[in-house]
Structure 1
Amino acid sequence: MAAQARPQLIGAPVAGFADEARRALERHPEARLVVFPELHLFGDGVPDLQREGALRGAAEPLDGPRVEALSALALELGVWLVPGSVCELGPHGELFNTQIVLSPEGRLAGSYRKIFPWRPHEPYEPGNRFVVVDLDGLGRVGLNICYDAWFPETTRQLAWMGAEVILNVVKTTTADRAQELVLARANAIVNQVFVVSVNCAGPTGMGRSIIVDPEGEALAEAPDAAPALLAADLDLAAVARVRTHGTAGVNRMWSQFRPGEPAIPLPVYQGRIDPATWQPATSPSESTGHVDVAPAPIRSTP
């Protein structure tokens, strides 16, 4: 379930968010994964660059009391919980925009620092690792934050690591949400994965959250910026089916190369596509974890 919601006020007790999550699950008790927008717990309507002091004041390390309280909430609800992203205080005082995944057992199952902050408007340091998390029966999800979707390297790398679903948490307050909907579909199509792009609701955000299947079809979509809950049953077998038979029964990008064909250099990444290893990971043990951002994007060797 994707919750297109208005941001909680920065510094507000986690109890308010807990009530919000409980109400969402009352409406969709069948949900096993609940995803909220980017920086959902850090809202006040002021652009991030203008409120860096407030963000730093609210930032905590991931072993701090905020994530501890959110972990307890995931345990109480018995669901996989992505409370958007949080302001993480790094070990040297850095400020990161970090997406977290909490398990139904109440543990921090994965975290991802946004690699592409929206420069020059955001005060965050960039992360340097891609992250895919195995959700124990719900598939493998790649973590992705807002502006990351504008860089095709990010979704391609996550798909190559074995992601079947891309969780793109968003806080788009500007007029480019229409283009982001195109990107959500395009990233799904060219990587043959599901994309869940959940934006914050108005008046802060532009809304229009969307869940897209591996062929680019919208399974659920919010028509406007009003608060909304999008629910969809993701048939993960569709990923293998589309990759086997082709998008629209035609295109099989992950089967593009034949054995023995030469590698294709990609100078912009100081890397290459090697036909010998140009294929996505297929097991949780292969796909879960992190890889360095450079020169990893689209590089064929781990």
Structure 2
Amino acid sequence: MRPFAIAGIQMKISAVNSNVELMKLKLDITMSLYPWVEMVVFSELCGHGPLTHTASAIPGNFEQEMQAMAKKHGIWLLPGSIFEKSEGHIYNTATVINPRGEVVTRYRKMFPFYPYEVGVTSGEDFCVFDVPGVARFGISICYDMWFPETVRTLAVMGAEVILHPTMTGTIDRDIELSIVRAMAAVNQCYFFDVNGLESGGSGRSVVCGPDGRVIYQAEGNEEIFPIELNIERVKRSRELGVLRLGQPLKSFRDHIVQFGIYQHGVELPYLNSLGPLIKPTKMDTLAKLKIQEHEHEKAHPSDPAGYKGFTNH
């Protein structure tokens, strides 16, 4: 396998105006400065911003403009994501385009940031694609990585590089940086996380290698960061171990057990007891909810949380 150069573009995102022309300008600048770059990745919801009223059909104008840019520069392109309108639903969808300007695959975010990403429907399919002669890539978007099963599934499907557009402007960004390192290490892969700025996030994009070490971390300003990946490091890690120590993918392969929590229809009493997925509210309201739950428990001792029959799907 040969080295492969990916550039992340961390740019300011407007929630009011289209960002497409600025994306095209940034892409032109990137390829002028770094003509050796072979793939470019933007942040989540980069094209039209974070508001669902911008949702549009895919394929559509945004995708077509990005196809033209990929073909113009002869690069692989992941132009972040946009809200997709389809059959009465809204999805958070990313498109992968090859150097000929062809759409290779699309990925719908599997875990919208509930209860905050209101009105967005979950995708159902994992997404990997091959860059011939280079590596297999997997797509993950923002909150997806908080669920280790998603990245593990991509690794089991053969992904050696995880491309991860994100839009995080909240105070949990430090936690996410730790998650990126952990996901890279336990799945022995590269993890390429690209965040936006202003309405698109707080920056600090990060790239980690298959040993979980940080290769590069951006700051809170606009940046173009081209990184040449040595895909052979993934193969070596998976064959010989993280830092020549643990071999988590092999151990997972050799000791696969039936995890009961994942069985369809199984009752999960503790998780059910946590209550519905809602935004936190004022403490007095929460106290009232607790009182109501306590009263329900006294009236229905066999169903302590008031969610009998609820199962995890």
Report deviation, 1:13: 7.1
Residue in 1 that maps onto 2:29: 23
SS of the residue 1:74 aligns to: helix
- Asked if the contact 2:187/2:210 (under 8 Å) is kept, the reply is yes
Q: Using the TM superposition, name which of 10-19 and 73-82 deviates more.
A: 10-19
Equivalence map 1:209-224=2 (5 Å): 209-222=205-218, 224=219
Matched residue count: 259
CA displacement 1:63-112 (0-9 Å, x = unmatched): 2222112111111111001110111111x121100111111101111111
2: distance between equivalents of 1:251 and 1:24?
A: 38
Report deviation, 1:183: 0.3
How does the TM-score come out when normalised to structure 1?
0.80
Q: Runs of 5+ in structure 2 lacking a partner?
A: 1-6, 265-311
Corresponding position: 1:112 with 2:107: yes
Corresponding position: 1:95 with 2:94: no
Corresponding position: 1:230 with 2:230: no
Equivalence map 1:181-200=2 (5 Å): 181-200=177-196
Larger Rg belongs to: 2
Residue in 2 that maps onto 1:175: 171
Report deviation, 1:27: 2.1
In structure 2, what residue type is equivalent to 1:193? C
Residue in 2 that maps onto 1:268: 261
SS of the residue 2:228 aligns to: coil
SS of the residue 1:81 aligns to: strand
Report deviation, 1:205: 1.8
- Asked if the contact 1:78/1:105 (under 8 Å) is kept, the reply is yes
Q: Using the TM superposition, name which of 150-159 and 196-205 deviates more.
A: 196-205
1: distance between equivalents of 2:40 and 2:104?
A: 14
Q: Runs of 5+ in structure 1 lacking a partner?
A: 272-293, 296-302
Tell me the C-alpha RMSD between the 2 structures: 2.1
Match of 1:247 among 242, 251, 265: 242
CA displacement 1:244-272 (0-9 Å, x = unmatched): 1111111112222797x7x511111128x
TM superposition outliers: structure 1 runs of 4+ over 4 Å: 8-11
- Asked if the contact 2:81/2:92 (under 8 Å) is kept, the reply is yes
SS of the residue 2:171 aligns to: coil
Corresponding position: 1:39 with 2:45: yes
How does the TM-score come out when normalised to structure 2?
0.78
2: distance between equivalents of 1:155 and 1:172?
A: 18
